[in-house]
Amino acid sequence: MSSRYLFPADYMADPAAHVWGDRIWIYPSHDRESGIPERDNGDHFDMVDYHALSIEPDAEGRLDPLTGDVVDHGVMLSLAEIPWAKRQLWDSDVAEKDGRYYLYFCAKDAADVFHLGVATAARPEGPFVPEPTPIDGSYSIDPCCFRDPKTGAYYLAFGGIWGGQLQRYRDNRAVYTADEDTLPKENRAALEPDDDQPALCAKLVRLTDDMKGFAEPPRDLLIVDAEGRPLTAGDHTRRFFEASWLSYRDGAYHFTYSTGDTHLICDAVSATVEGPYVYRGVLLDPQVGWTTHACVTEVEGAWYLFHHDSVPSGGRTWLRSLKVCKLPEAR
Protein backbone atom coordinates (compact mmCIF):
# COMPACT_ATOMS: atom_id res chain seq x y z
CA MET A 1 0.00 0.00 0.00
CA SER A 2 1.62 3.31 -1.01
CA SER A 3 1.86 5.88 1.75
CA ARG A 4 3.23 9.33 2.36
CA TYR A 5 4.63 11.33 5.28
CA LEU A 6 2.36 14.35 5.24
CA PHE A 7 4.31 16.97 7.14
CA PRO A 8 8.03 16.22 7.54
CA ALA A 9 8.70 19.76 8.86
CA ASP A 10 7.30 19.00 12.34
CA TYR A 11 6.21 16.21 14.67
CA MET A 12 2.44 15.73 14.67
CA ALA A 13 0.15 12.79 15.46
CA ASP A 14 -3.45 11.57 16.02
CA PRO A 15 -4.88 12.98 12.76
CA ALA A 16 -8.57 13.74 12.25
CA ALA A 17 -9.22 14.51 8.56
CA HIS A 18 -12.30 16.09 6.94
CA VAL A 19 -13.11 17.38 3.45
CA TRP A 20 -14.67 20.84 3.65
CA GLY A 21 -14.88 23.19 0.69
CA ASP A 22 -12.16 22.48 -1.87
CA ARG A 23 -9.59 21.00 0.55
CA ILE A 24 -8.83 18.38 3.16
CA TRP A 25 -8.48 19.69 6.70
CA ILE A 26 -6.29 17.77 9.13
CA TYR A 27 -6.39 18.27 12.89
CA PRO A 28 -3.40 16.60 14.59
CA SER A 29 -1.83 16.62 18.03
CA HIS A 30 1.37 18.70 18.01
CA ASP A 31 4.18 16.65 19.54
CA ARG A 32 7.19 18.32 21.13
CA GLU A 33 10.36 17.45 23.03
CA SER A 34 9.45 18.51 26.57
CA GLY A 35 12.19 16.61 28.37
CA ILE A 36 9.59 14.93 30.63
CA PRO A 37 10.72 11.37 31.40
CA GLU A 38 8.63 8.51 29.97
CA ARG A 39 5.96 7.21 32.38
CA ASP A 40 3.26 4.57 31.92
CA ASN A 41 0.60 7.30 32.24
CA GLY A 42 1.89 9.19 29.19
CA ASP A 43 3.15 12.35 30.97
CA HIS A 44 5.85 12.64 28.30
CA PHE A 45 3.16 13.44 25.69
CA ASP A 46 3.11 17.02 26.93
CA MET A 47 1.66 19.02 24.06
CA VAL A 48 0.83 22.72 24.39
CA ASP A 49 -1.00 23.73 21.20
CA TYR A 50 -3.00 22.62 18.17
CA HIS A 51 -2.32 23.44 14.51
CA ALA A 52 -4.64 23.07 11.52
CA LEU A 53 -3.16 21.62 8.34
CA SER A 54 -4.78 21.47 4.92
CA ILE A 55 -4.12 19.49 1.77
CA GLU A 56 -4.63 21.74 -1.24
CA PRO A 57 -6.33 20.87 -4.55
CA ASP A 58 -4.12 20.53 -7.66
CA ALA A 59 -4.29 22.86 -10.69
CA GLU A 60 -7.32 20.93 -12.02
CA GLY A 61 -9.08 21.26 -8.65
CA ARG A 62 -8.58 17.59 -7.76
CA LEU A 63 -7.81 16.49 -4.21
CA ASP A 64 -5.25 13.76 -3.66
CA PRO A 65 -4.00 13.11 -0.10
CA LEU A 66 -0.99 11.23 -1.50
CA THR A 67 0.34 14.13 -3.60
CA GLY A 68 -1.41 17.43 -2.70
CA ASP A 69 0.55 20.32 -1.15
CA VAL A 70 0.23 20.46 2.63
CA VAL A 71 -0.20 23.88 4.28
CA ASP A 72 0.33 24.58 7.98
CA HIS A 73 -2.16 27.26 9.10
CA GLY A 74 -0.31 27.75 12.39
CA VAL A 75 -1.56 27.63 15.97
CA MET A 76 -5.36 27.52 16.19
CA LEU A 77 -5.56 27.06 19.98
CA SER A 78 -2.93 26.97 22.71
CA LEU A 79 -2.94 25.58 26.25
CA ALA A 80 -2.46 29.06 27.77
CA GLU A 81 -5.81 30.15 26.29
CA ILE A 82 -7.83 27.33 27.92
CA PRO A 83 -8.81 28.43 31.45
CA TRP A 84 -9.39 24.92 32.85
CA ALA A 85 -6.58 22.98 31.13
CA LYS A 86 -3.18 22.60 32.76
CA ARG A 87 -1.28 20.12 30.58
CA GLN A 88 -1.25 17.51 27.84
CA LEU A 89 -3.33 18.63 24.86
CA TRP A 90 -3.93 15.18 23.39
CA ASP A 91 -6.07 13.99 20.48
CA SER A 92 -8.73 16.31 19.02
CA ASP A 93 -11.33 16.52 16.27
CA VAL A 94 -13.27 19.31 14.54
CA ALA A 95 -16.88 19.28 13.30
CA GLU A 96 -18.69 21.72 11.04
CA LYS A 97 -22.32 22.69 11.68
CA ASP A 98 -24.21 25.52 9.95
CA GLY A 99 -20.98 27.24 8.86
CA ARG A 100 -19.33 27.18 12.31
CA TYR A 101 -16.49 24.94 13.44
CA TYR A 102 -16.31 23.09 16.74
CA LEU A 103 -13.00 21.79 18.07
CA TYR A 104 -13.25 18.94 20.57
CA PHE A 105 -10.07 18.22 22.52
CA CYS A 106 -8.86 16.61 25.71
CA ALA A 107 -6.49 17.87 28.40
CA LYS A 108 -5.67 17.36 32.07
CA ASP A 109 -7.06 19.82 34.61
CA ALA A 110 -5.18 21.16 37.65
CA ALA A 111 -5.83 17.87 39.49
CA ASP A 112 -4.36 15.87 36.55
CA VAL A 113 -7.77 14.49 35.58
CA PHE A 114 -8.54 14.32 31.85
CA HIS A 115 -11.69 16.03 30.53
CA LEU A 116 -13.01 16.99 27.10
CA GLY A 117 -13.22 20.62 26.03
CA VAL A 118 -14.88 22.45 23.16
CA ALA A 119 -13.82 25.61 21.31
CA THR A 120 -15.52 27.38 18.39
CA ALA A 121 -14.39 29.27 15.29
CA ALA A 122 -15.83 30.90 12.19
CA ARG A 123 -13.26 29.24 9.93
CA PRO A 124 -11.80 25.69 9.79
CA GLU A 125 -8.29 26.98 10.57
CA GLY A 126 -9.48 28.93 13.61
CA PRO A 127 -8.62 30.79 15.72
CA PHE A 128 -10.75 28.72 18.12
CA VAL A 129 -12.20 30.28 21.26
CA PRO A 130 -12.47 27.76 24.12
CA GLU A 131 -15.35 27.46 26.56
CA PRO A 132 -14.23 28.42 30.08
CA THR A 133 -14.95 24.97 31.56
CA PRO A 134 -14.74 21.38 30.29
CA ILE A 135 -17.85 19.79 28.77
CA ASP A 136 -20.12 18.96 31.70
CA GLY A 137 -19.97 15.24 32.50
CA SER A 138 -16.93 14.62 30.27
CA TYR A 139 -13.93 12.49 31.18
CA SER A 140 -11.04 10.55 29.63
CA ILE A 141 -9.54 11.33 26.19
CA ASP A 142 -9.68 11.13 22.39
CA PRO A 143 -12.93 12.78 21.26
CA CYS A 144 -14.17 12.05 17.74
CA CYS A 145 -17.18 14.01 16.45
CA PHE A 146 -19.46 12.21 14.00
CA ARG A 147 -22.53 13.44 12.13
CA ASP A 148 -24.98 10.61 11.55
CA PRO A 149 -25.77 10.95 7.82
CA LYS A 150 -29.19 9.32 8.36
CA THR A 151 -30.48 11.68 11.08
CA GLY A 152 -28.14 14.69 10.99
CA ALA A 153 -27.50 14.24 14.75
CA TYR A 154 -23.94 14.85 16.01
CA TYR A 155 -22.21 12.42 18.38
CA LEU A 156 -18.96 12.27 20.29
CA ALA A 157 -17.16 8.98 20.70
CA PHE A 158 -14.39 9.12 23.29
CA GLY A 159 -12.30 7.29 25.86
CA GLY A 160 -8.94 5.66 26.39
CA ILE A 161 -7.69 3.22 29.01
CA TRP A 162 -4.45 3.34 31.08
CA GLY A 163 -2.99 6.86 30.58
CA GLY A 164 -6.39 7.93 29.22
CA GLN A 165 -7.98 7.19 32.64
CA LEU A 166 -11.14 5.41 31.35
CA GLN A 167 -10.59 2.59 33.88
CA ARG A 168 -11.30 5.06 36.69
CA TYR A 169 -14.98 5.32 35.67
CA ARG A 170 -18.07 3.11 35.96
CA ASP A 171 -21.51 4.31 34.78
CA ASN A 172 -19.98 7.75 34.04
CA ARG A 173 -18.86 8.18 37.66
CA ALA A 174 -15.27 8.31 38.89
CA VAL A 175 -14.57 5.35 41.19
CA TYR A 176 -10.92 6.28 41.59
CA THR A 177 -9.20 9.66 41.18
CA ALA A 178 -5.59 9.43 42.37
CA ASP A 179 -2.60 8.94 40.07
CA GLU A 180 -2.45 5.20 39.32
CA ASP A 181 1.30 5.41 38.86
CA THR A 182 1.57 5.83 42.64
CA LEU A 183 -0.05 2.37 43.07
CA PRO A 184 1.70 -0.99 42.79
CA LYS A 185 1.08 -2.56 39.34
CA GLU A 186 -1.35 -5.18 40.73
CA ASN A 187 -3.58 -2.47 42.25
CA ARG A 188 -3.53 -0.52 39.00
CA ALA A 189 -4.70 -3.60 37.13
CA ALA A 190 -7.56 -3.97 39.64
CA LEU A 191 -9.22 -0.89 38.13
CA GLU A 192 -9.78 -2.88 34.92
CA PRO A 193 -12.21 -5.82 34.63
CA ASP A 194 -10.79 -9.34 35.02
CA ASP A 195 -9.49 -10.85 31.78
CA ASP A 196 -12.62 -13.01 31.21
CA GLN A 197 -15.03 -10.12 31.85
CA PRO A 198 -16.38 -7.70 29.19
CA ALA A 199 -13.74 -5.12 28.26
CA LEU A 200 -14.14 -1.45 29.07
CA CYS A 201 -15.91 0.29 26.19
CA ALA A 202 -15.41 3.54 24.35
CA LYS A 203 -18.24 5.98 25.10
CA LEU A 204 -20.78 7.44 22.70
CA VAL A 205 -22.91 10.48 23.42
CA ARG A 206 -25.28 12.66 21.36
CA LEU A 207 -24.43 16.36 21.44
CA THR A 208 -26.84 19.18 22.26
CA ASP A 209 -28.02 21.38 19.37
CA ASP A 210 -25.47 24.08 20.27
CA MET A 211 -22.71 21.39 20.02
CA LYS A 212 -21.31 22.39 23.42
CA GLY A 213 -22.77 19.78 25.74
CA PHE A 214 -23.94 16.19 26.18
CA ALA A 215 -27.64 15.73 25.35
CA GLU A 216 -27.75 12.47 27.36
CA PRO A 217 -25.48 10.40 29.59
CA PRO A 218 -22.67 8.75 27.58
CA ARG A 219 -23.39 5.10 26.73
CA ASP A 220 -21.07 2.17 26.05
CA LEU A 221 -19.97 1.75 22.45
CA LEU A 222 -19.98 -2.03 22.64
CA ILE A 223 -17.78 -4.21 20.42
CA VAL A 224 -18.88 -7.84 20.07
CA ASP A 225 -17.46 -10.87 18.29
CA ALA A 226 -19.15 -12.60 15.32
CA GLU A 227 -21.35 -14.55 17.79
CA GLY A 228 -22.52 -11.37 19.51
CA ARG A 229 -20.39 -11.83 22.65
CA PRO A 230 -18.78 -8.67 24.09
CA LEU A 231 -14.99 -8.66 23.62
CA THR A 232 -13.27 -9.44 26.90
CA ALA A 233 -10.73 -7.35 28.82
CA GLY A 234 -8.06 -10.02 28.30
CA ASP A 235 -8.49 -9.98 24.52
CA HIS A 236 -5.71 -7.45 23.98
CA THR A 237 -5.49 -7.91 20.21
CA ARG A 238 -9.16 -6.93 19.72
CA ARG A 239 -10.46 -4.95 22.70
CA PHE A 240 -10.80 -1.14 22.64
CA PHE A 241 -7.90 0.89 24.07
CA GLU A 242 -8.14 4.44 22.59
CA ALA A 243 -8.34 6.48 19.34
CA SER A 244 -12.07 6.32 18.50
CA TRP A 245 -13.10 7.16 14.94
CA LEU A 246 -16.57 6.79 13.41
CA SER A 247 -17.35 6.76 9.70
CA TYR A 248 -20.20 5.64 7.47
CA ARG A 249 -19.04 3.62 4.49
CA ASP A 250 -20.45 0.87 2.29
CA GLY A 251 -23.86 1.28 3.96
CA ALA A 252 -22.62 0.59 7.51
CA TYR A 253 -21.34 2.48 10.53
CA HIS A 254 -17.67 1.75 11.15
CA PHE A 255 -15.89 2.15 14.47
CA THR A 256 -12.11 2.31 14.06
CA TYR A 257 -9.91 2.20 17.16
CA SER A 258 -6.49 1.34 18.60
CA THR A 259 -5.82 -1.76 20.69
CA GLY A 260 -3.04 0.13 22.53
CA ASP A 261 -0.54 -2.36 23.95
CA THR A 262 -0.91 -4.64 20.90
CA HIS A 263 -0.54 -1.63 18.59
CA LEU A 264 -3.27 -2.47 16.06
CA ILE A 265 -5.87 -0.30 14.36
CA CYS A 266 -9.07 -2.35 14.17
CA ASP A 267 -12.44 -1.98 12.50
CA ALA A 268 -15.91 -2.93 13.78
CA VAL A 269 -19.25 -2.46 11.98
CA SER A 270 -22.86 -1.80 12.95
CA ALA A 271 -26.21 -1.12 11.30
CA THR A 272 -26.86 1.76 13.73
CA VAL A 273 -24.63 4.45 15.17
CA GLU A 274 -25.38 3.24 18.72
CA GLY A 275 -24.07 -0.29 17.98
CA PRO A 276 -23.32 -2.92 19.04
CA TYR A 277 -20.36 -2.99 16.63
CA VAL A 278 -19.20 -6.35 15.34
CA TYR A 279 -15.42 -6.78 15.29
CA ARG A 280 -14.29 -7.14 11.66
CA GLY A 281 -10.51 -7.14 11.58
CA VAL A 282 -7.25 -5.22 11.49
CA LEU A 283 -6.93 -2.09 9.31
CA LEU A 284 -3.33 -1.26 10.20
CA ASP A 285 -0.54 -3.47 11.55
CA PRO A 286 1.81 -2.20 14.31
CA GLN A 287 3.84 0.86 13.38
CA VAL A 288 7.13 2.11 14.82
CA GLY A 289 6.37 3.80 18.17
CA TRP A 290 4.17 2.76 21.11
CA THR A 291 1.00 4.60 20.12
CA THR A 292 -1.02 4.06 17.00
CA HIS A 293 -3.97 6.23 16.01
CA ALA A 294 -5.94 6.59 12.76
CA CYS A 295 -8.91 8.11 11.03
CA VAL A 296 -10.64 6.91 7.88
CA THR A 297 -11.84 9.64 5.51
CA GLU A 298 -13.45 9.67 2.07
CA VAL A 299 -11.79 11.89 -0.52
CA GLU A 300 -13.34 12.06 -4.00
CA GLY A 301 -14.89 8.61 -3.75
CA ALA A 302 -11.86 6.80 -2.30
CA TRP A 303 -11.15 6.04 1.37
CA TYR A 304 -7.85 6.98 3.02
CA LEU A 305 -6.29 6.04 6.34
CA PHE A 306 -4.50 8.92 8.06
CA HIS A 307 -2.24 7.82 10.91
CA HIS A 308 1.23 8.32 12.46
CA ASP A 309 4.48 6.56 13.24
CA SER A 310 7.79 7.39 14.94
CA VAL A 311 10.19 6.44 12.13
CA PRO A 312 11.46 9.96 11.33
CA SER A 313 12.27 10.66 15.02
CA GLY A 314 14.30 7.44 15.24
CA GLY A 315 11.64 5.66 17.29
CA ARG A 316 11.13 8.32 19.97
CA THR A 317 7.56 7.39 20.69
CA TRP A 318 6.47 10.86 21.82
CA LEU A 319 7.71 12.47 18.56
CA ARG A 320 5.43 11.17 15.83
CA SER A 321 4.95 11.98 12.15
CA LEU A 322 1.74 12.10 10.15
CA LYS A 323 1.16 9.58 7.37
CA VAL A 324 -1.57 8.75 4.89
CA CYS A 325 -2.28 5.72 2.71
CA LYS A 326 -5.17 4.54 0.58
CA LEU A 327 -7.45 2.07 2.31
CA PRO A 328 -7.43 -1.21 0.37
CA GLU A 329 -10.88 -1.74 -1.13
CA ALA A 330 -11.33 -5.09 0.62
CA ARG A 331 -11.18 -3.33 3.98
235 strand-pairing partners: none
Cis peptide, bond prior to residue 127, ω within 30 of zero: yes
Instruction: Work out whether 91 is an interface residue with ligand FUB (CB under 6 A).
Output: yes
Instruction: Work out whether 256 is an interface residue with ligand FUB (CB under 6 A).
Output: no
To ligand FUB, the closest distance from the beta carbon of 308 in angstroms equals 7
> In the set 23, 203, 238, 293, which binds ligand FUB (CB under 6 A)?
293
To ligand FUB, the closest distance from the beta carbon of 19 in angstroms equals 22
> In the set 17, 27, 29, 146, which binds ligand FUB (CB under 6 A)?
29
Instruction: Work out whether 90 is an interface residue with ligand FUB (CB under 6 A).
Output: yes
Q: In sequence order, what DSSP letters do the residues of 224-292 get, joined into one string?
A: E-TTSPBPBTT-TTTS--EEEEEEEETTEEEEEEE-GGG--EEEEEESSTT-PEEEEEEEE---SSS--
- Helix H or strand E segment including 185: helix 185-189
Number of residues lying near ligand FUB (CB under 6 A): 13
CA-to-CA distance for 267 and 277, rounded, in angstroms? Answer: 9
**14 is an active site residue:** yes
Instruction: Work out whether 11 is an interface residue with ligand FUB (CB under 6 A).
Output: no
CA-to-CA distance for 240 and 258, rounded, in angstroms? Answer: 6
> In the set 12, 94, 141, 223, which binds ligand FUB (CB under 6 A)?
141
Nearest CB to ligand FUB, comparing residues 141 and 327: 141
**300 is an active site residue:** no
To ligand FUB, the closest distance from the beta carbon of 240 in angstroms equals 12
Question: What Rg, from alpha-carbon coordinates, does the chain have?
Answer: 18
To ligand FUB, the closest distance from the beta carbon of 95 in angstroms equals 18
Instruction: Work out whether 242 is an interface residue with ligand FUB (CB under 6 A).
Output: yes
Nearest CB to ligand FUB, comparing residues 23 and 267: 267
Instruction: Work out whether 13 is an interface residue with ligand FUB (CB under 6 A).
Output: yes
Q: In sequence order, what DSSP letters do the residues of 292-317 get, joined into one string?
A: ---EEEEETTEEEEEEEESTTTTS-T
Q: Exactly one of 125, 220, 235, 242 is catalytic; which is it?
A: 242
- Strand intervals (E) in 151-241: 154-158, 169-170, 173-174, 202-206, 219-221, 223-224
Nearest CB to ligand FUB, comparing residues 203 and 293: 293
Q: Which residues of 225-256 are buried (b: 16+ CB within 10 A; e: fewer)?
A: eeeeebbbbebbebbbbbbbbbbeeeeebbbb
Instruction: Work out whether 220 is an interface residue with ligand FUB (CB under 6 A).
Output: no
**How many other C-beta atoms lie within 10 A of the C-beta of residue 192?**
16
Instruction: Work out whether 166 is an interface residue with ligand FUB (CB under 6 A).
Output: no
3-state secondary structure of 147: strand
Q: Which of residues 35-74 bind ligand FUB (CB under 6 A)?
A: 45
Nearest CB to ligand FUB, comparing residues 220 and 242: 242
To ligand FUB, the closest distance from the beta carbon of 292 in angstroms equals 7
Name the residues that contact ligand FUB, by CB under 6 A: 13-14, 29, 45, 90-91, 141-142, 160, 242-243, 291, 293
- Looking at the annotation, which residues are catalytic? 14, 242
